[in-house]
Amino acid sequence: MRLRNLGWSNLAISPIGVGCMNFGSMCDQAATDAIVSTAFDLGVNFFDVADIYGGAMNRSEAMLGKALGGRRHAAIVATKFGAKLGGGGGAAPGGGSADYITRAVEASLASLGTDYLDLYQHHFPDAGTPVEETLRALDNLVRQGKVRHIGCSNYTGAMLSAASEVANGLSLTPFVVAQNRYSLLTRDIETDLVPVCLTQGVGVLPYFPLESGLLSGKYRKGKPLPEGSRFAKWRGGGSFASEARYEIVERLAVYGDARGRSVLDLAIGWLVAQPAVASVIAGVTRPEQLVQNVAAGSWEPAGEELAAISAIAAQAVPA
C-alpha cells in the first residue's frame, strides 16, 4: 500500500486507516486482535481511537494497545481528548484546558501501553477555554516527547484559522490534521474547512466516511435490513438514513454496477482521491470489512469518474 504524509508532517500513513470506536462496544478483545493483525497484513498502519470510545473511559485505547503489543512502533497511533463520555458527543467541561489535557494524556498513554502518541487530537472545541491555553498545553507535550503531532476535530474553518494564527504568532506547535465528518453524502466542510486545510497544508481525516454503513452497499431501498446490523438495531438507520439518501445510494449503485464497482468502492475511492484527505478511517467490526475498505481505497478513479460521482452525490440531503 502506497503511504502518504499526514498533512505537512513527515508521518507516513496508509490512505485507509482503522477507526477504533467499535473496540470494546461492538468488538471484544479477540475481534480487536483479529482486526489489528489483518491491518498489518494489508499494510495498514494508521489506527484512530479516542479516550471516550468503548463505552467507558480509555476502554478502546486499552484494547488497541493490547492488540498492538510489540508492534506498537510499526503503527501510527492517533487518539483524542476533550469529549464527553456517552453517545451525545460534544465537549467535556474544560476539555481544552491545560489541567484537563495533562491528566488526559497520561491516562491515554497508560491505557495504550506506550510512552508516546503519534497524533493527539482535540476532540471537540472548548468554548470555555482560550485556544492559546490549549495550544500551549499541547506544545508542551510535544516538547516533552509524549506527543509527536497534534490535531483538531470538529473545528470549523474559522476555528482552525484562528488556532493557526495563535500557533504561528507564539511559535507553538500547529495542528497537522483536522478530523471532521465528511463523506459523499455530507460535504459541508468543502466550503468551510477544506479550503483552510489546503492553504495551510493540514490533512483532513474524514469520520463517518460510510455514513455508518449507508454507503457500504449493504443497505438498499426496499430491501430488508441485514439481521444484527446497525440499521436493524436502530430500526432504520436513525439520522443517517432518509428516502432522499436511499435514492442517492441507488443511483450510485447503478453507476458503479456499469463499471464493475460497488457503492463502497465509489464512497471510499472518491474520498481517498480528494486532495486534502490524509486517510479514510472507517470503523470496522470484522477483518473482512477492512479487506474490502483497503480494496476500495486502492481504486484510483479517473477525473471524469470523480466528477460523475460528485454530481450524483450532490443531490444528497444532509442528515
Residue-level pLDDT at 90: 93
Residue-level pLDDT at 232: 45
> How much is the average pLDDT of 205-221?
84
For residue 77, the cross-strand partners are 47
User: At residue 319, does pLDDT exceed 50?
Assistant: no
User: At residue 105, does pLDDT exceed 80?
Assistant: yes
> How much is the average pLDDT of 249-262?
95
- Residue 65 DSSP class: H
C-alpha cell read off for 218: 449493504
Residue 69, C-beta contacts closer than 8 angstroms, at least 6 positions apart: none
What's the chain's length in residues?
Answer: 319
The upper half-sphere exposure of residue 252, i.e. CA atoms within 13 Å in the direction of its Cβ, equals: 35
Residue-level pLDDT at 141: 98
pLDDT over 70 percentage in the chain: 90
Residue-level pLDDT at 10: 92
* Integer Cα distance of 73 and 78 in angstroms: 13
User: At residue 228, does pLDDT exceed 70?
Assistant: no
For residue 239, the cross-strand partners are none
- Residue 201 DSSP class: T
Q: What are the structural domains, with CATH classification, of the chain?
A: 4-211+274-299 (3.20.20.100)
Q: Nearest to residue 248, comparing CAs of 214, 294, 208?
A: 214
> How much is the average pLDDT of 5-11?
95
User: At residue 221, does pLDDT exceed 90?
Assistant: no
Range in 107-116, 146-155, 182-191, 219-228 with the lowest mean pLDDT: 219-228
Residue-level pLDDT at 86: 80
Could you give the 3-state DSSP secondary structure of residue 5? strand
Catalytic residue positions? 53
Condensed to tens digits (0 to 9), the pLDDT of residues 296-315 reads 999 999 999 999 999 999 87
Per DSSP (E only), the strands in 76-130 are: 76-81, 117-122
* Integer Cα distance of 243 and 264 in angstroms: 19
With cell 482503522, the residue in question is 18
Residue-level pLDDT at 161: 98
Condensed to tens digits (0 to 9), the pLDDT of residues 24-75 reads 999 999 999 999 999 999 999 999 999 999 999 999 999 999 999 999 999 9
User: At residue 217, does pLDDT exceed 80?
Assistant: no
Residue-level pLDDT at 144: 98
Residue-level pLDDT at 244: 84
Q: Nearest to residue 309, comparing CAs of 261, 276, 237?
A: 261
> How much is the average pLDDT of 210-228?
71
Condensed to tens digits (0 to 9), the pLDDT of residues 289-300 reads 999 999 999 999
Residue-level pLDDT at 219: 63
Indicate the average pLDDT of the chain.
92
Question: Global pTM?
Answer: 0.93
Q: Nearest to residue 27, comparing CAs of 60, 76, 58, 72?
A: 60
Condensed to tens digits (0 to 9), the pLDDT of residues 115-169 reads 999 999 999 999 999 999 999 999 999 999 999 999 999 999 999 999 999 999 9
Condensed to tens digits (0 to 9), the pLDDT of residues 37-51 reads 999 999 999 999 999
User: At residue 260, does pLDDT exceed 90?
Assistant: yes
Burial zone of 191 (CB within 10 Å; 0-12 exposed, 13-18 middle, 19+ buried): exposed
